Amino acid sequence: MTDTNIQTKPKTEIDMIELDSGISVRRMVVHAEQPKGTVILLHGFPETIYAWPEVARALADDYDVHTFDWPGYGLSSRPAVENFDYAPRTYAKLLGQYIAAAGIDRSTLTIYATDISALPTLLLALDEPDVARRIIVGDFAPFDRPDLMHPMLRDLKMKPMADQIRDARNAAWEGVVEGKGFGAGLPPEAQFDVAREFKDDMARSWNHSGMTTMDAFYHYYLHFTRDENYFEQRLGEMKANVKVVWGELDPYIVKAMGEELAERLGVEFKELTGIGHYAHSQDPKLVIAEIRESFL
């Protein structure tokens, strides 16, 4: 299957790829004429691959760029929770499967992972330190620090509040996919909109195969504290090349979380001035520059 909604140069392909687990994910690949390496862009909630076309096209001057919908998002598989738990550690395994199935050379790979994608990426890196030459993560919760999280995210960690939030977000799904949360925490002059094509993709894929995007997010959070604690226990084992970037005005995860992660890993922390939670949508040029710098 090929999606023809995006007609661009350089060459852009949108199709489905089946992984070893039997799960199929929708992916977008933007091809460079003479690639110097590969980039994987990994989305957050409630996003899809359509969060990335501007960033991907700019980087494709020099690099092949991949992005895919996580299970539960976009048009990727949404297996029953009895067979797939949507946990960060499960997503980590799936990322490894994608890299293998796509035939990506890890020695020339940069992974940029935000929000729900960041913890799975780092969990994979614990087991496979050579998964990429460089990993950039940001705006997520690597540790169980509820006081550094938005109340909604904090409450998603525990029932029955999590059930109430899921029901409320599913009832208000149209506002979610219209991007009303993308500019959260930003002053009026910094507000921004996302592309109509992106909104439409989130809308048409919100309820797919009997599961909503919010349902997938809910199940991710059911296992989140467990996997945060697992990550923190193994933090000293990290050998991958990691950089932490964070929106100065992120209202969902306080930047102190990122500062702690960088300090404990002994890696660079970069604050993105005037940026909220969704740096790649608010100021794509910042993200493009970070990724290009990773190849220097």
DSSP per residue over 61-75, as a string?
TTSEEEEEPPTTSTT
> What sign does the dihedral 136-63-76-286 (CA atoms) show?
positive
Q: Tell which residue, 10, 96, 6, 101, has the closest CA to residue 51.
A: 6
d(CA 220, CA 244): 22
Q: How many residues does the chain have?
A: 296
- Please, are residues 69 and 26 in contact by the beta-carbon 8 Å criterion? yes
- Please, are residues 50 and 195 in contact by the beta-carbon 8 Å criterion? yes
Task: Break the chain into its structural domains and give their ranges.
Answer: 12-294
Give CA angle at 106 (96, 22), nearest 5°. Answer: 25
**For every one of its 296 residues, what pLDDT tens digit does the chain have, with 9 covering 90 and above?**
445 445 457 899 999 999 998 999 999 999 999 999 999 999 999 999 999 999 999 999 999 999 999 999 999 999 999 999 999 999 999 999 999 999 999 999 999 999 999 999 999 999 999 999 999 999 999 999 999 999 999 999 999 999 999 999 999 999 999 988 999 999 999 999 999 999 999 999 999 999 999 999 999 999 999 999 999 999 999 999 999 999 999 999 999 999 999 999 999 999 999 999 999 999 999 999 999 999 99
* Fold of the domain built from segment(s) 12-294: Rossmann fold (3.40.50)
214's enclosing H/E stretch is helix 213-222
Coil vs helix vs strand at 234: coil
d(CA 130, CA 118): 16
Coil vs helix vs strand at 217: helix
Predicted model pTM: 0.96
